[in-house]
Amino acid sequence: MKRTNLFLKKKSKHLKLTVFFAGLLLVSFSCRVEMDNSILKNAENQRTIESMKAWYAAHQPETIILRSSDGTEQAQMKPEWSRAFKTQNENYEVVETDIMRKGRFALHMDSSCAAKYIETNDPKYMQCYTRMVFRINLDTKDTVGFLMTISPNLDWVEKSNFRPFLDMTYLSRNKQFGGMILFHNIDGSFSNGWRYENGKVTGKITALYENPNQ
């Protein structure tokens, strides 16, 4: 996104990430998600969502593709506006929505979840969820759009009773969340991310993949 410097100014920490590729026969929602019923689409929220639809129509790239690190795997996607909701704090107004995507796509899984999935073959451990986010600066009225991927770790997946996306939005995190929050530019290229433990930032992610010799 245009203002990546807003996201990362924290200490670094090594990243352990496993990528699974899955095939879709039909267009479908990106992942299971549990949303708090208290997020309601009142008239003001709906106006904001409609304005973001107009902004997206004016600024969207020709295609939006979420890529793997080496560019060999990619999936076309688009926002699913019927799933959009709005949140707000003193600085930002934010609209988030599910995405629809078609083709093979990357599940950016924490290594602990990947190991547990391989051990158990239980799909409940394959937890990863991507939303499209539109953020409005309330002071400058500048708008940016990007993709946010939530990749929980094993501890949080089990602690949340396999509902790791509950109470997770761009502006707020569950106080016990552990895992990664990854950001991609709206064209699908990787931007940056954060690693969390027990709801607190423990490191930044500046590249999804590192040379194992370093």
Nearest 10 degrees: Cα torsion 209, 4, 79, 55: -160
The pTM for the full model equals 0.76
Give the pLDDT score at 59.
Answer: 85
The pLDDT value given to residue 63:
62
Residue showing tokens 């969340």: 177
> What is the C-alpha separation between 186 and 191, in angstroms, rounded?
10
Q: What does the pLDDT look like over 140-181, one tens digit per residue? A: 999 999 999 999 999 999 999 999 998 899 999 999 999 999
Report residues of the chain scoring pLDDT below 50. Answer: 1-15, 19-34, 36-38, 40, 69-70, 210-214
